[in-house]
Amino acid sequence: MQYYTVRAFTILLLFILSACGNSSKKEKGTSREKTKDTVKIDSAAIKKAQKEKEEEKRFVLTEDNAIPFLFEYQKEHKEHKVRIHTSKGSFVIDLYEKTPYHRANFIYLTKKEYFNGTYFHRVVKDFIIQGGNTDMVSTAKRRDSIGFYLLPPDTRKGYTHSRGTVSMPSSDDVANPHKLASPYEFFIVTAKNGAHHLDGKYTAFGKVVSGMDVVDKINNVPTGDDEWPLTNVVIKSVEIIE
């Protein structure tokens, strides 16, 4: 009688252990399935991000789409303060909110890293320094990849060309009676009393708020007859800080 009781107990115990084992396998299987689903979701997100990045690379600005694009861009991108790192030191520019297309254009080009490696290629002592270009083919190719477009003047916001003002030069690439601005370049007024003869002709869209001593250092480098510095003053990078 005792033998059958022990045997029955043993069979019952084996049955319980077997059931637990199957349950454990099911749970492990569920866990693997969840992991697989997670991988699928992550993979889809990565592919989507890659596709968006490729589309962004293919997007090119033109005279037809530049203003509509910048109109929408300035709504979402409110950054207005940048630090420019040069081979002569760094300085900070505050971009004016009231010149939205020019501010947005500068922020857009900064995020595209256009300015990195360009020069202050024109220096006129006690007048201005002008940056955003080089004599390298790579710079021309970079412009081509971003697009060819010009910006209309925006000169009625009350800003003048006082010392430290950042402004847009007009383009030399086309016949330009309306002073359309070259979007890839900018100049900074260094004259002690400003350069007010430029008011109403060029768009002032920002001001140097820190590091004007570095701007003056650039303004004092030796140049050739073409106003190009004898030793290139490099814009190493432009950093958005606010």
What CA–CA distance (Å, rounded) separates 161 from 141?
Answer: 32
- Find how far residue 149's CA is from the centre of its chain: 18
For the chain, 242 residues long, give each residue's pLDDT as a single digit of tens.
Answer: 444 454 555 555 555 555 555 554 444 444 545 455 555 567 777 876 676 666 566 899 999 999 999 999 999 999 999 999 999 999 999 999 999 999 999 999 999 999 999 999 999 999 999 999 999 999 999 999 999 999 999 999 999 999 999 999 987 666 666 778 889 999 999 999 999 999 999 999 999 999 999 999 999 999 999 999 999 999 999 999 99
Give the pair of three-digit tokens for residue 1. 């009688």
Distance between CA atoms of residues 85 and 90, nearest Å: 4
Burial 70-91 (b: 16+ CB within 10 A, else e): beebbeeeebbebbbbbebeeb
Count CA atoms closer than 13 A to 49's CA, side-chain side. 6
